[in-house]
Amino acid sequence: MNTAFIGLDYIVDITHEEGKLAKGSAHVLDETQIGRVNQTLALARSKDWLTVLVKVGFAAGYVNQPKNSPFFGGAHTAGALALGTPGTDFHPGIRADLADLVVVKPRVSPFYGTELEAALRARRIERVILGGVSTAWAVQAAARDAHDRDYQVVVVEDLCAAATEAQHESSLELLRLIASVVKAEELGTYERSLPQD
């Protein structure tokens, strides 16, 4: 089955201890989590899966920021999620060089206003494997969108994090209704992608 691994929002502002939105949050990635993400990227490459890293960010001057959004409305006052700044760089521990494609999104879902769908269709992707932060927002949005676009959806629970463990667990409970929820170590048993025409 043609497969893509999609890693969501592993950026400094969200996942690094010095990130503007991560201070005191369970989103902060430790070395073990970073290692699992990198192992998954390497595994995906070895299986000829499409590897995609997604980052959220807003253009210069925050011209595409939804300022009325309770979720994103304060980004400009915090100086967070500005494209071209260190905050929207991938976490320094993440092997971003293993990504075939980097997608920049202006909203929660990686499908909204991005090239992701075109890339998946071009590669005839049938299954998407998701990891990222937060489980409650970006991962849920990606999984729901992918499900409704008729992809088989797999969520890798130990590649995900949320602001609290309770949010993470409740999100996984909901996601099990539309996706397979697995651990990173289980991905090694997944078959290789079919050859491309």
Percent of the chain with pLDDT over 90: 84
Q: Has residue 197 got a pLDDT over 70? A: no
Question: With bands split at pLDDT 50, 70 and 90, how would you rate the model's confidence at 196?
Answer: very low
Long-range contacts of the stretch 21-30 (C-beta < 8 A, 24+): 21/78, 21/80, 21/81, 25/163, 26/161, 26/162, 26/163, 26/164, 26/165, 26/168, 27/133, 27/134, 27/161, 27/162, 27/163, 29/91, 29/93, 29/133, 29/161
Domain residue extents for the chain: 3-56+87-189
Query: What's the pTM value of the predicted model, to 2 decimals?
Result: 0.94
pLDDT of residue 193: 54
Question: With bands split at pLDDT 50, 70 and 90, how would you rate the model's confidence at 24?
Answer: low
Structure confidence by residue, pLDDT tens digits, 25-79:
667 788 999 999 999 999 999 999 999 999 999 999 999 999 999 889 899 999 9
Question: With bands split at pLDDT 50, 70 and 90, how would you rate the model's confidence at 161?
Answer: very high
Query: Which CATH code for domain 3-56+87-189?
Result: 3.40.50.850
Q: What's the whole-number mean pLDDT along residues 114-122?
A: 98
HSE (side-chain half, CA atoms, 13 Å) at 99: 17
